Amino acid sequence: MSDSPLASPDTDPLAARYDFAKRVALEAAERAMAFYVRRRDLAVEHKGGDLQDVVSIADQQVEAFIRSELATHFPDDGVVGEEGGSAGLQARYIWVIDPIDCTACFLNGLHNWCVSIGLMVDGEPMLGAIADPNHGELFHGFVGRGAFVNDTPLQAHGAAHVREGLVGVGTTHRPGKEHFLPFLHGLLDAGGMFVRNGSGALMTAYVAAGRLIGYYETHLKSWDCLAGLVLVREAGGRSNDFLRGDGLLAGNPYLVAAPGVYEQLAVLVGPSLDAP
């Protein structure tokens, strides 16, 4: 397999891909921001008739840019993207990308959207970059080398009970939504409180950063969280076995949390968290 022009024989191919992910996430975020400032002029479609699941020309063009960069620098790598589907899944290196996570927020003038680029190596999440241009933040991490927001190391929250912080939550119209309200009731009964900002990638990054003590989604897709899973792991947090079964392509229920509250949140979610 050939490596990128960025990765000479004297360069670690993973380090080259880490540098690539950070650079391209920032450049893609700049391109997305150019669309964001003129979002009222964008053509918008609804996927499969789902009014919650929208796609714009911005999503499509930003993903095309990321795929073009991948084709130039790492042509033998596989890719899974929200808009462009999957290819090359037999490859050792597989990129998992979301050009604009939370298009609904993007189109409605909210700041809770980002670009997410993650990399799997031999089936395991290895590195990720999440660029949030509205707040000037690049969350990034590499297994064994830590996780950061810009240059500041990330550390999961030290909470020992759900009363001690905020839990991110989310749901969709997909099967699994029936577990959402029972979870909220249980969380509130335990003295906890929740927020929802619409972006799975950002809420995952916030768990890694200690801003949230946990994040539960009834059903999430891999492009929303693959990059963030690396951040949570490197920041000392925990996650469920999200990639089990066909999780890479079909998604699964999702939970990430600070280590001191993971089990408490998992109990509140119940058996659906790791159901086949």
Half-sphere exposure of 234 (CA within 13 A, CB side): 26
> 246: annotated binding-site residue?
no
Which residue, 91, 138, 158, is CA-closest to 119? 91
β partners of residue 137 = 132
> 98: annotated binding-site residue?
yes
> 101: annotated binding-site residue?
yes
d(C-alpha 181, C-alpha 235), whole Å:
29
> 274: annotated binding-site residue?
no
Instruction: Return the structure tokens found at 137.
Output: 């933040």
> 59: annotated binding-site residue?
no
Instruction: Return the structure tokens found at 43.
Output: 């053509």
HEC-encoded secondary structure of the chain = CCCCCCCCCCCCHHHHHHHHHHHHHHHHHHHHHHHHCCHHHCCEEEHHHCCCCEEEHHHHHHHHHHHHHHHHHCCCCEEEECCCEEECCCCCEEEEEEEEECHHHHHCCCCCCEEEEEEEECCEEEEEEEEECCCCEEEEEECCCEEEECCEECCCCCCCCHHHCEEEEECCCCCCHHHHHHHHHHHHHCCCEEECCCCHHHHHHHHHCCCCCEEEEEEECHHHCHHHHHHHHHCCCEECCCCCCCHHHHCEEEEEECCCCHHHHHHHHCHHHHCC
Q: Which residues are annotated as a binding site?
A: 82, 98, 100-101, 224
Q: Which residues are annotated as a binding site for Mg(2+)?
A: 82, 98, 100-101, 224
